[in-house]
Amino acid sequence: MASAQSVKFPALFGWGGCVYEPHRFRIYSLTLVFMKKLIACMLAAVLLLANELMSQDKKTLQTAKTYFTWVDQGKTHHLNKLLAEDFSGNISFDVNPLDKAGWKAMMESLKAAFPDMKHEFQAEISEKDKVALKGLLKGTNNGNYMGQLPTNKAIALPFSAVLLFNQKGKLSTISMSFDPRVFDMQMVGEGENRTGRAKQTITGFFAAIDAGETDRFSEFCAPNFKVTSPLLSGESDLAVFQSNSSILRLGFPDMKHEITRMEYTGTHVMTTGVFRGTNSGPYSENLATNRKVEFPFLVLDELDAKYKISNRWIMFDGQSFNTQLYEGYSQVLENLLREMFAASDAGDVDKVVSYWDEYGKSNYNGAEHSMDELKTRLKNFKKSFPDIQRTIDAVTVCGNRAHVRGTVSGTQSGPYMGKPATNRRATIGFMAEYLFNGKGKIEAGWTEVDFGALNDQLFGKKR
């Protein structure tokens, strides 16, 4: 018979019997309870770890999306909060990785080219320190991009991005991938021809200049337009260029810029050609020379995003221009002065003042005279010296100014300065300067005569 501490069960259906021993059963029960608790703790730890990993994944994903949001909004100055110091960025069209500063600069240029840019996400995967995104980059090319003028085309470019984070949660690497061929096709496609539009701006501007339509210059020039030219004293704005163009058109009514070659290079257009015109009108306060000028020119224009000229550099041989324009001009002014002096010697005072502007001023030994006063002085001098004769020794022309040096001779056979005729012959020197206006009239003159020598010859003792 079995003991009281154990019970023996008979064999059933061919299986061996077993003995129930209470002390061993307790041990098994305790072990089972411990294992259950251990499994429960392990399960809780796994769930906690999984929750932590999920939370970390959400954080990295949110950081990645924040990065793209700031880029889309043009807030690149905030990117320092997200990018690691040793950051490295890669993008499809650049074989070399960019550092932190280079990447920010590229994002800024992208935003400038596509002011309405937006990254739209279609799929996303995050895993601890890595985020992968897939989507579309949308925007309209309204700004310069990669040295090219805008096409004003809208794009929807498929892209993928992989972002890696360091242990501090900062972005250490960004890799952006897209098909450059798709990008180029969407940017240009069959849309607006950048080269044609740029050239149209330049040809239109030249046509407006030749036609003297200065009020249309703003159609082709940006508000911040600047220009340099041999005809200007320095860099000038649009208002100065309009004034200069009007002066040029007045002097050369038939002026024409003949374009021989035009090249578009991204944001610049280089134009070469030949300027032709006849100086049949007053130019730069100078008398018309009626001479034809013809000289080659080169113009470099910089265009802004709206295809308007922001900077213009004009180059040509200014010396050649002046030589063609003023060759013989000195002789023209000298001939006018000789004619005027001859009329004065003949006593034709009306003809003399015809060489002057009606509001001209004659300064004679420091005293200013009007045209009526000039006529009176010449008449009185003719009465005193009926045979008066002026001899011109030299005429020097500088622009619209003429300098004259010579002598005046005559016999005092009439009263002079309240004194009777002496019938003495006198010869004195004189110097004069004349300023001509654009109509070829004298607007101011200065004459200096040695009256001391004249009085000595007339009233001094005979030698």
Query: 3-class DSSP state for residue 318?
Result: helix
- Which of 168, 187, 206 is a domain's end point? 187
pLDDT band for 189, please (50, 70, 90 cuts).
low
Task: Examine residue 243 and state whether it is found in any structural domain, yes or no.
Answer: yes
Rounded Cα–Cα distance for residues 142 and 97 (Å): 27
Q: How far apart are the first and last CA of the chain?
A: 188
Quote the mean pLDDT of the chain. Answer: 85
Q: Counting beta carbons within 10 angstroms of the beta carbon of residue 141, is it exposed (0 to 12), middle (13 to 18) or buried (19 or more)? A: buried
- Which of 166, 187, 208 is a domain's end point? 187
Lowest mean pLDDT among 21-35, 263-277, 389-403, 443-457: 21-35
Same-domain pairing of 92 and 171: yes
Rounded Cα–Cα distance for residues 302 and 295 (Å): 23
CATH code, 254: 3.10.450.50
Task: Examine residue 39 and state whether it is found in any structural domain, yes or no.
Answer: no
Same-domain pairing of 322 and 333: no
Instruction: Tell if the pTM clears 0.85, that is, is over it.
Output: no
At 390, give phi and psi (nearest 5°): -100, 135
Same-domain pairing of 128 and 252: no
190, pLDDT greater than 50? no
Q: 310 near 226, Cβ under 8 Å?
A: yes
Supply the pLDDT for residue 3: 46
Structural domains counted in the chain: 3
- Give me the count of residues in the chain: 463
181, pLDDT greater than 80? no
Same-domain pairing of 376 and 289: no
Same-domain pairing of 381 and 393: yes
Rounded Cα–Cα distance for residues 76 and 143 (Å): 17
Same-domain pairing of 210 and 181: no
Task: Examine residue 35 and state whether it is found in any structural domain, yes or no.
Answer: no
Supply the pLDDT for residue 187: 80
Identity (one letter) of the amino acid at 283? Y
Residues of the domain holding 121:
55-187
Same-domain pairing of 437 and 390: yes
Same-domain pairing of 339 and 364: yes
List the structure tokens of 121.
């996400």
- Please compute Rg for the chain using Cα positions: 48
- Find the mean pLDDT for residues 231-246: 95
